[in-house]
Amino acid sequence: MFNLSSPKTLYFILISIIFTVQSEEYGFCQKSDQDMKTGENCGDFEYLSNKRYILYDVNPPEGFNLRRDVYVRVAVFVKNLNKKDKKYKWHLVLPPWGDLYHWQSKDVGPQVSLPWGTFFDIASLQKYAPVIEMYKFFEEYSSKNKRTQLDVTYILQNDEEMFKTGIFEDKNEETDCSSKLIRYRKSKEEYNGYFWNYSNITSKQMKCILFHGTMSNLEANLYPSFYRSVMFDHMEIPLHDSYGSKDYWKARRSMRYNSELYDIASEFRAKYLNSIDKDDNTERPSDWIKEKKKRNAIGGPYLSVHLRRRDFLIGRAESTPTIKGAASQLEKKMKEYGLKLLFVATDADKQELAELKSYLPQYTVLNYVPSDYVKNKFKDGGIAIIDQIICSYARYFIGTHESTFTFRIQEDREIIGFPPERTFNRLCKVKEKCSSSGHWEIVW
């Protein structure tokens, strides 16, 4: 039994109470910006937990496939951070999907706050970097009154002066927050606003940063002795540290899709395209870590094309062919490879798709039409992935110039092991040959 009248016992109880309150309420200490710049630490109350969280978001107009590339940049950053920093354990919180410009279907149900598990295999992602879904972050992170308060949010901005002068150099500099650029507002002692469509998230601090450079330069903004959660908005601005490197491809290979999406695509391939992995030499281990370098994938007996229309007819008019022009190029390749089946992934309307088929009467032209079950469970994002999977297993693939949808298919085909000449191809504006969209081969 404790002797409550003993000064030593009372001192021990007092210290325990202070320690507990500090741990439960903050889990870390509070310091000013000047303290951080001078490196002054928190003494006995430096963060009691060594777990740190990095959160991020991307410019709202950016699409599904560019956001997947941003993820690779951040995942490599967090993995390298954990290699370098032995004191803290950094976790990447996956930003929920939703409100994307190209997700306009009205018959798929709500397309907001979708977890990554809807589209990707989370366990596979975690074999590369320590990632968690947003709902897991809510469970782990302390909150008050069912509200989650982040420690700091950085709004990353391009330095427009660099674009005017054409002189680019690394920059990571705090600047005034412009009301025109900020999606947040201050209310009392915290900031409210757009946090992935969640009304229960706020931020204690908000800072605007003029930034130019690679992702690793953001390490200077983390201050793990003072911040437990750090959020970066406009994370599309930092560049890859090493695009196309072995680390890049490891992160990309870890991005296995939800297994049910593979099953749906495989069923379609087998039923309509006479394509199964064993015959096509496209079998893959269930664990991406066990994949080996190969270049002998055959692919199913069909040609696949990503035929982009809509906004590309205006924004990429100089490189986007007419339907008739595209049909002519496809016919040439179908003859060259002796194929009779053509799979089309496209945002073309029904009239344009019918026009394409009219120019290719000697071929079976197919596109994927999702069931109501698929539409309601996997939404526009999952349907797009099914299209991409089917394209990635074709004997020969032709993409659209400067399309991130095409880039992701090319990456998948590199991982599966196709010869590059059957992957890095694109539709030209006219019948004549045109340069390819770049040639980023896998590094093992």
Contact status, residue 384 vs residue 359, Cβ threshold 8 Å: no
> Residue 419: pLDDT above 70?
yes
Rounded to the nearest 10 degrees, how much is the dihedral formed by the CA atoms of 8, 9, 13, 16?
60
Contact status, residue 75 vs residue 88, Cβ threshold 8 Å: no
- Residues identified as active-site: 62
Q: Answer with the residue of higher pLDDT: 12 or 367.
A: 367
> Residue 101: pLDDT above 50?
yes
Identity of the highest mean pLDDT range in 39-48, 64-73, 145-154: 64-73
DSSP string, 91-144: EEEEPPB---TT---SSS---SSB-GGGTB-HHHHHTTS-EEEHHHHHHHS--B
157-171, 219-233, 279-293, 373-387: which has the minimum mean pLDDT? 157-171
34-38, 47-51, 177-181, 385-389: which has the minimum mean pLDDT? 34-38
Confidence at residue 367, expressed as pLDDT on a 0 to 100 scale: 98
Angle CA 357–360–365, to nearest 5: 55
15-19, 63-67, 281-285, 294-298: which has the minimum mean pLDDT? 15-19
pLDDT digits (tens, 9 = 90+) for 153-166: 999 999 988 988 89
Q: What is the mean pLDDT of residues 82-87?
A: 95
Buried b or exposed e, range 277-316, using 16+ CB within 10 angstroms = beebebebeeebeeeeeeeebbbbbbbbbbbbbeebeeee
Contact status, residue 339 vs residue 303, Cβ threshold 8 Å: yes
Confidence at residue 438, expressed as pLDDT on a 0 to 100 scale: 74
For 343, phi and psi rounded to 5 degrees? Answer: -105, 130
> Residue 18: pLDDT above 90?
no
> Residue 435: pLDDT above 90?
no
For 430, phi and psi rounded to 5 degrees? Answer: -125, -175
The alpha carbon of residue 392 and the mean position of all alpha carbons in its chain are separated, in whole angstroms, by 19
pLDDT digits (tens, 9 = 90+) for 187-229: 888 999 989 999 999 999 999 999 999 999 999 999 999 999 9
Per the rule left: phi > 0, alpha: psi between -120 and 50, beta: everything else, 97 is: beta
CATH assignment, 257-422: 3.40.50.11350
- Cα–Cα distance list, 204 to 9, 228, 327 (Å): 37, 12, 56
Q: How confident is the model at residue 233 (pLDDT cuts 50, 70, 90)?
A: very high
Whole-number Å distance between alpha carbons of 437 and 427: 10
Q: Answer with the residue of higher pLDDT: 67 or 16.
A: 67
Q: What is the mean pLDDT of residues 345-364?
A: 97
Q: How confident is the model at residue 239 (pLDDT cuts 50, 70, 90)?
A: very high
Stated pTM of the model: 0.89
CATH assignment, 51-233: 3.40.50.11340
Domain segments of the chain as ranges: 51-233, 257-422
257-422 shares the fold of 51-233: yes
Whole-number Å distance between alpha carbons of 131 and 53: 10
Q: How confident is the model at residue 9 (pLDDT cuts 50, 70, 90)?
A: low
Whole-number Å distance between alpha carbons of 392 and 33: 50
DSSP 423: T
Confidence at residue 32, expressed as pLDDT on a 0 to 100 scale: 46
171-185, 195-209, 263-277: which has the minimum mean pLDDT? 171-185
pLDDT digits (tens, 9 = 90+) for 116-140: 999 999 999 999 999 999 999 999 9
HSE-CB for 40 with a 13 A CA cutoff: 8
Q: Quick check: helix, strand or coil at residue 358?
A: helix
Rounded to the nearest 10 degrees, how much is the dihedral formed by the CA atoms of 413, 426, 275, 105?
90
Identity of the residue numbered 297: A
> Residue 181: pLDDT above 80?
no
